Chain A
């Protein structure tokens, strides 16, 4: 059943070219082909958000995108958000406010939250809860996730103000 096609993606700033079946799911391309194992698989039906990445500036669930649909796209995964020497504000905030337990939802959560804060830099608690409703966490009960995101928002805004 091999009908491989040529694809090109930019993942975390690096160009990637490879042959794959068009039906390959983006999450498998990222995790297995490109070894970006930060985004996880929790359902493969678009419900849990563990696979969330940013594709062309939008949050998408990589489990329900074919690689063919992503051809040419610019993709950011959790691995591209920060690095050990300079963590993303959200990564720090999740650590600080106990926004994670088993960590399985965390990459998707943080990736989604980073987009949410771009879309709405000063969200209310309600807006955070609504904006994060596509990401399921089975461990934390969300309270500290919401707290982490709100804390990150204030910190980012404070930094912005200081810079201005």
Chain B
């Protein structure tokens, strides 16, 4: 029957790349049959819970757990003293620092883990937590990184050398006991010279506030030590299960083959679930000690207060240009607040991540970036919240600086961007700060975006609005937010990207079954991105079997090939490439089998959608299904039976997705309330695997961007108390606050990626944050505002209007 189908019909039947395939994950999720970590219930399982510090900086004088231990159902109360003999009271961080698992003599941030209670159920554990008495002696609190760099209060005595000396940290010399590192990229002297000699220089201080990824599911795990077989199974919310296995092995001494890490369904990650947290270590220890499974799942307050904040970058910029607006130089200094421990999740050689993508989409000949990391009495983290490492910070910085420069030059911000974009023919483009941008066509994207929104019409309307406002006819201003961002994702080439020495390649292993269906396993793990759907589409196109006949499996270190997991939009660029490459290995063997079956030379057959055909005689063919069967039932001279392949893909370069966004916003000057009238997002993520999923990622990323730009914040008071530790104060937008988005695209494939895909999950967040913020700032441009910091909540906007004298 197959013979009668046209080539197009055969292609459609595969459900391969480019089609809007419905998600295979959805059946279980819509029926409440997902399997998330807190759904796991093992026989005899105990529950762990933390005693946490109410103070941001304090010495611990004593811990008395006798009352807690006396409670019926309490099995153990672990403190640093119990972990010390095992060497587990501290653990290494992903950033080359170390972090206390349980408070070792002092605490450095509010909510820090002090003791771990293990009890028969969560209620008893919670009661016991209340009964543990900790005697604290308060110490002076440092919540401001600038003050920390001046203070003689030492936060990390453990890092002092003999006689109070200051040994180098993981990233070189330290200037002060509360200083972590200085990281410099680019040419300092040359940049300063360019700035000195420039026609125009715009300067601004831009603070990217502290926030949190806050996935709907918090972090947690179930550790289960099988003492009979010496095997540890660790289920948990891990964005990088293999890396977690290696880390657990390194710190526990259990051999890696005796550890099985499983990431079940994950309820969103956004960077929150990359790191290793004290809860994991304590659960493992507790299970080893008790011999039964131990579950630990943090609650929302614990999540917001302790696991993985994002950003907290104080950025000072100078950008220079000619009178005509050609940018000549960029200077950026960052004071990065890392909290009490340096637990940033960045590739080892990049202590400030890829902040050096801060030249953005522009051809800036000379640039310099310096980042100083600083300890304060805040929670550790510094993860990439829905972005590749520090890329939102970089995009926000440059997109604000360009707007400020436009004000300085008295130019239209869209035009200023246009004359400075890297031109299509300049790719691959070497940036002043060391990256090789793979491909782009920024002018085309920009023009398409401006046309779609009728940019000139918007500006005319805005000018009229300003007139009306001045004439007292309206109290609403209008902002037009622009952004053209360039991301850097798909970390990354092993030559410069590793985490704790583990190269950031990724992997795929495929087994074709005799009847022509398949299973593929990957080193990544989906947290909502729909990998089971999209990776099957890549394979369907590569190997000519229907996507519906291909199972994708991830997240079990006993079965999946080694990979560094899912974050930083690396799944498609790295594991997606591995998938395509493994598929091509399958195809290469299939070609030999087909040639044998068709009795022609290998070179005389060619792949055609779902089959190999004899060149010039398309009526002679063998389908992939037939070939798969032959692989298992025919003795073919010179060819091993079976049809399997594995690929470990070390990407030659990062990928550089980009996009052009426009936000139109009305702002009520008297209430500070914002109304997003329109949001247009054009994304170029190279080859598009599943347009439906891409669009969903864009909607979600933009909404997280809206949250961050317009209100979401982890705020501290001077005592180091977290002021936004519940969903009452930590802004997560609901359906009511979120607009409908218009999505659009151009396609500029990555030249070095096997299928040309670049990754998209984080673009809308990276581009969305500056776009919303630019809209707010732009609304007040006519009244003399240059820059105001996020988050632009109603109160801050009202304050901006008030400071500008707009309340009469």
Contacts and interface: CB of A to CB of B under 8 A. Distances in A.
B216 A38 contact: no
B727 A79 contact: no
Given A21-B123, A102-B527, A104-B216, A79 B31 contact: yes
Contacts of A142: 699, 703, 734-735, 738
Interface string A9-25: 00000000000010110
A139 B268 contact: yes
Contacts of A106: 29-30, 32, 34
A98 B23 contact: yes
A47 B727 CA distance: 6
Interface in A56-82: 77-79, 82
A110 B738 contact: no
Given A43-B727, A79-B32, A141 B270 contact: no
B727 A48 contact: yes
A102 B726 contact: no
A138 B300 contact: no
B673 interface: no
B738 A102 contact: no
A139 B700 contact: yes
Contacts of A137: 216, 735
A137 B26 CA distance: 15
A111 to B, nearest CB: 9
Nearest to A49: B734
Contacts of B530: 101
Interface string B446-473: 0000000000000000000000000000
Contact of A1 (B39, B72, B697, B732): B72
Contacts of B529: 101
A153 interface: no
Given A98-B693, A141-B741, A105 B699 contact: no
B32 A38 contact: yes
A95 B267 contact: no
A47 to B, nearest CB: 4
Contacts of A94: 26, 30
Contact of B217 (A84, A98, A101, A102): A102
A26 interface: no
Q: How large is the interface on B (under 10, 10 to 19, 20 to 34, 35 or more residues)?
A: 35 or more
B30 A87 contact: yes
A110 B30 contact: yes
Given A40-B267, A98-B23, A98-B693, A143 B740 contact: yes
Contacts of A105: 216
Contact of A48 (B127, B216, B697): B216
A143 B741 contact: yes
Contact of A133 (B39, B127, B216, B734): B734
A141 B738 contact: yes
A132 B25 CA distance: 23
Contacts of B1: none
Contacts of B698: 141
A115 interface: no
B26 A138 contact: no
Contact of B699 (A42, A47, A103, A144): A144
Nearest to A39: B32
Nearest to A32: B41
B253 to A, nearest CB: 33
B528 interface: yes
A122 interface: no
B300 A103 contact: no
Nearest to B697: A101
Interface string B681-718: 00000000000110111111111100000000000000
B617 interface: no
B265 A103 contact: yes
B528 A43 contact: no
B81 interface: no
Contacts of A95: 22-23, 26-27, 30
Nearest to B122: A28
Interface string B261-288: 0000111101000000000000000000
Nearest to B702: A141
B735 A146 contact: yes
Interface residues of A, number: 61
B699 A141 contact: yes
A30 B448 CA distance: 52
B135 interface: no
Given A41-B38, A47-B726, A100-B26, A129 B32 contact: no
A148 to B, nearest CB: 10
Contacts of B265: 102-103
B33 interface: yes
B336 to A, nearest CB: 25
Contacts of B25: 103
B196 interface: no
A40 B38 contact: yes
Given A103-B528, A129-B736, A138-B270, A143 B699 contact: yes
B300 A43 contact: yes
A146 B734 CA distance: 11
A82 B735 contact: no
B728 interface: yes
B693 A102 contact: no
B32 to A, nearest CB: 2
Contacts of A141: 696, 698-703, 738, 741
B29 A138 contact: no
Contacts of A107: 29, 32
A82 B588 CA distance: 45
Nearest to A137: B216
B299 interface: yes
A43 B215 CA distance: 11
Interface string A99-135: 0111111110010000000000000000011101111
Contacts of A133: 734-736
Interface in A130-164: 130, 132-146
A43 B29 CA distance: 19
B266 A130 contact: no
B39 A37 contact: yes
Contacts of A23: 123
B614 interface: no
A91 B30 contact: yes
B734 to A, nearest CB: 4
B632 interface: no
B90 interface: no
Contacts of A35: 41
B215 A138 contact: yes
Contacts of A43: 299-300, 726-727
A40 B35 CA distance: 11
B409 to A, nearest CB: 35
A103 to B, nearest CB: 3
Given A101-B529, A102-B267, A103-B528, A138 B214 contact: yes
Nearest to B20: A98
7 contacts: A38-B32, A98-B692, A102-B527, A138-B215, A138-B732, A140-B700, A141-B702
Given A101-B696, A106-B32, 7 more contacts: A1-B124, A36-B32, A82-B31, A95-B26, A130-B735, A141-B701, A143-B741
Interface of B: 22-23, 25-34, 36, 38-39, 41, 71-72, 122-124, 127, 214-218, 265-268, 270, 299-300, 527-530, 692-693, 695-704, 726-728, 732, 734-736, 738, 740-741
